[in-house]
């Protein structure tokens, strides 16, 4: 092995070791040097060298003394991330708006910005509004050199590995290399992901799905989308469309309205706010008000939507056999507080006994999507390279 190759391998190994230490301090801090050595498998001297370097660069800070072992009386210096040292931008890109916030490394929002629009119309308009939001956020960051990246939550199909927006019905553009376009302008790493995937990952890691190994998340919102998780891994399918339950055929006959996908009768044509706007020419709020006053037209429509969703959910559960099915989104929250209960009752009545142990969950208060998007950046900032096995 040549000297330059040895030097490169040494530098990469040094970087990997630092990432391991950083990740543990971020995820488990405050944590002591002794615990870092035990959990990383690195020598105490190596950990001390890394910690001293991180302290000098003010990436981490010293906290209060912590117990090393319960009841031992011994204490060690606790280390944790300097939350003011780095920032992450989280953006929520939807059909009618772009919302953004800047977060520190403890995921506390410090500034925000927003733009709204009825229809983007062109890539130029979309990019202009994105630039306006990002520029406004950057001008409020104390030191832009500390921004570690931009995370974007998008409603639609996304190739997150290559940063490409494949299809976004509410926005109207296909195969848009969004990450590259923004990275070229700002020279900051940009990470994009589907909004339901982000929500599912969050709930599987920290929320109501953390005890579930195989589950489904379905969001009835501006559009209708879903995520399938098997053995704690997201199933994307060959073209990133696995879990696109919005195009499950749920309505027939005179109720089979045309869908933007080119077919008709899809769930999203009536079980989404955009679908209701196109198919019935009403908003969620108008629908909810119609139900409250007992309007026969809306009462009949409500019955059709609940029945269509229930049949679809029963078939999806039967096909996939998940531990849990999580439903969320503004459609269910806005139309009626009883809607989820009625859907659940009908689904459980229709399920075969072989799968009726499924847990159906309604998530009323879903996390801020800009925060989930910023989490993409924070995750990547502490990610350990996958090629460590070759060293």
Q: What is the pLDDT of residues 265-314, one digit of tens each?
A: 999 999 999 999 999 999 999 999 999 999 999 999 999 999 999 999 99
Q: E strand or H helix at 216, and its extent?
A: strand 215-220
Contact 88, 148 (CB under 8 A): yes
Ramachandran area for residue 214 (φ above 0: left; ψ -120 to 50: alpha; else beta): beta
Per DSSP bridges, beta strands 215-220 and 224-230 are: antiparallel
Low-confidence spans in the chain with pLDDT less than 50: 1-9, 385-391
Cα–Cα distance, 386 to 4 (Å, whole number): 22
Q: E strand or H helix at 251, and its extent?
A: none
Place of tokens 């096909």: 319
Contact 349, 184 (CB under 8 A): no
What is the reported pTM?
0.80
> What phi and psi, each to the nearest 5 degrees, are found at residue 205?
-85, -45
> What phi and psi, each to the nearest 5 degrees, are found at residue 264?
-140, 160
Helical residues (DSSP H) of 115-213, grouped into ranges: 123-139, 178-186, 195-206
> What phi and psi, each to the nearest 5 degrees, are found at residue 183?
-65, -35
Cβ neighbours for 177, distance < 8 A, ≥ 6 positions apart: 162, 163, 164
């Amino acid at each position: 092995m040549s000297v330059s190759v040895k030097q490169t391998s040494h530098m990469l190994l040094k970087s990997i070791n630092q990432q391991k230490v950083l990740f543990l301090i971020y995820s488990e801090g405050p944590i002591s040097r002794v615990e870092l050595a035990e959990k990383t498998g690195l020598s105490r001297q190596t950990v001390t060298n890394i910690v001293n370097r991180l302290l000098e660069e003010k990436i981490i800070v010293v906290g209060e003394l912590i117990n090393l072992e319960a009841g031992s009386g011994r204490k060690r210096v606790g280390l944790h991330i300097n939350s003011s040292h780095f920032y992450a931008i989280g953006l929520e890109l939807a059909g009618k708006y772009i919302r953004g916030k800047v977060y520190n490394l403890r995921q506390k929002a410090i500034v925000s910005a927003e733009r709204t629009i009825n229809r983007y119309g062109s890539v130029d308009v979309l990019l202009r509004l994105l630039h306006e939001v990002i520029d406004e956020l950057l001008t409020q960051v104390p030191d832009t050199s500390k921004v570690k990246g931009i995370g974007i939550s998008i409603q639609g199909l996304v190739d997150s590995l290559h940063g490409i927006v494949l299809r976004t019905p509410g926005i109207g553009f296909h195969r848009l290399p969004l990450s590259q376009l923004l990275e070229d302008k700002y020279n900051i790493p940009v990470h994009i992901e589907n909004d339901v995937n982000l929500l599912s990952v969050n709930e599987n890691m920290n929320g109501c799905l953390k005890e579930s190994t195989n589950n489904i998340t379905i969001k009835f919102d501006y559009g209708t989308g879903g995520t399938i998780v098997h053995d704690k891994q997201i199933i994307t399918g060959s073209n990133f469309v696995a879990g696109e339950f919005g195009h499950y055929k749920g309505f027939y006959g005179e109720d089979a309205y045309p869908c933007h996908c080119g077919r008709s009768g899809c769930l999203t044509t009536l079980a989404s706010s955009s679908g209701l706007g196109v198919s019935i020419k009403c908003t969620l709020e108008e629908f909810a008000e119609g139900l409250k006053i007992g309007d026969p037209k809306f009462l009949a429509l409500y019955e059709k939507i609940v029945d269509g969703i229930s049949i679809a959910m029963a078939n999806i559960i039967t096909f996939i056999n998940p531990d849990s099915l999580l439903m969320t989104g503004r459609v269910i929250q806005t139309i009626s507080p009883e809607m989820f209960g009625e859907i659940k009752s009908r689904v459980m009545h229709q399920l075969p006994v072989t799968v009726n142990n499924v847990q159906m969950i309604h998530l009323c208060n879903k996390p801020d999507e800009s925060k989930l998007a910023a989490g993409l950046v924070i995750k990547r900032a502490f990610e350990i390279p996958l090629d460590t096995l070759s060293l």
